Amino acid sequence: MTTTSPRQVAVPPVGDRPQRRSPTGRSSARRRGEIALFLGPALLLYATFVIVPMVLAGYYSLFNWNGLGPLDQFIGIDNYTRAAGDPVFRAAVGHNALIVVLSVVVQLPLALALALLLNRRLRGRAILRMVLFAPYVLAEVVTAVAWQLILQPSGPLNTLLENMGLESWAQLWLADRDLVIYSLFIVITWKYLGFGIVLFLAGLQGVPNELLEAATVDGASAWHRTRYVVLPLLGPTIRIWIFLSVIGALQLFDLVWIMTKGGPSNASVTMATFLIDRGFERSQIGYGSAAAVLLFIISFVFALLYQRYVMRRDTEGALTRRVG
């Protein structure tokens, strides 16, 4: 009987060996499949309702088109030069800028002050929070119609002022060209102030009590504790609120369109109402698309610059903490 030593066993060539997937390769392929399964529907919806309309708007903006006939009148960037020279569009940009400034100057300190107040232990604090946040959950249509009725010349507000003997305070709130944009801003503040309060209250929960107690022991007053302890720690929340507020102010449409449609005499027109009016009300799809593209560019540039130069510290800190 012949015994074969291990050294004499024939080893098949490398090319004839069966290829087996390593467990790491199988898990990697499975992970990619799961990512594609979960992200696929969201990406499809995003592409359908965001990317495709943006591309089509940019394409339509190069034509003089009313939305019905063929796209055969190519005019290049004439719609953009027309918008740049249109006094109504420039007024719309100015109104959006005014609302942005008022939001930061008025809404920010007001929401922050109310959040600091509601963060204390007060009787009925839960009810106050609910009352301040309730307008935010109302639909824009409901808010606009309700305030449109309130601000009518013979509406509840003017009637109340007259009954209080303040007839001189009664105004044409939505018909005065010098007053309408500020009337709309009051409605906007009433509608969205609750969101800022809730956001700041959430940020205040992250302020360590130990720091406040240490500052109190060192003799810091309530103002100094707020100024040098609370506000710096609340900085990331404030910067996020400013970003969301500015983007919302640039894209403001619902309240203005329902209450005034940009009137009277374009005194409250915004970029969003301008593009809807030109694109759909007047059947100037090409011109309205150009206005939409300009609105997107303004919002996109602001978002990039703000995240690059203002929110960079917050992003880098989050990434550093994640890596560490």
Residue 297 pLDDT > 90: yes
Question: Can you give the pTM of this predicted structure?
Answer: 0.83
Q: What is the dihedral of CA 144, 147, 148, 149, to 10 degrees?
A: 130
Q: Are 123 and 261 in contact (CB under 8 A)?
A: no
> Span 128-147, mean pLDDT?
92
Round to whole Å and give the CA distance between 269 and 247. Answer: 17
**13-39 pLDDT, tens per residue?**
555 555 555 556 677 888 888 888 888
Residue 123 pLDDT > 90: no
pLDDT band at 122 (very low <50, low <70, confident <90, very high): confident
pLDDT band at 288 (very low <50, low <70, confident <90, very high): very high
The pLDDT of residue 218 is 84
Bridge partners for 74 per DSSP? 63
Residue 1 pLDDT > 60: no
Number of H helices, E strands in the chain: 17, 0
The pLDDT of residue 266 is 92
The pLDDT of residue 246 is 95
The pLDDT of residue 240 is 93
The pLDDT of residue 324 is 41
**226-250 pLDDT, tens per residue?**
888 888 899 999 999 999 999 999 9
> Span 77-82, mean pLDDT?
94
The pLDDT of residue 323 is 41
Q: Which residues of the chain are in CATH 1.10.3720.10 domains?
A: 86-284
- Give the fold, CATH level 3, of 86-284: MetI-like fold (1.10.3720)
**299-308 pLDDT, tens per residue?**
999 999 999 8
Mean pLDDT of the chain: 87
The pLDDT of residue 35 is 86
Round to whole Å and give the CA distance between 162 and 213. Answer: 51
pLDDT band at 8 (very low <50, low <70, confident <90, very high): low
Instruction: Tally Cβ neighbours within 10 Å of residue 233.
Output: 14
> Span 260-283, mean pLDDT?
93
> Span 97-124, mean pLDDT?
91
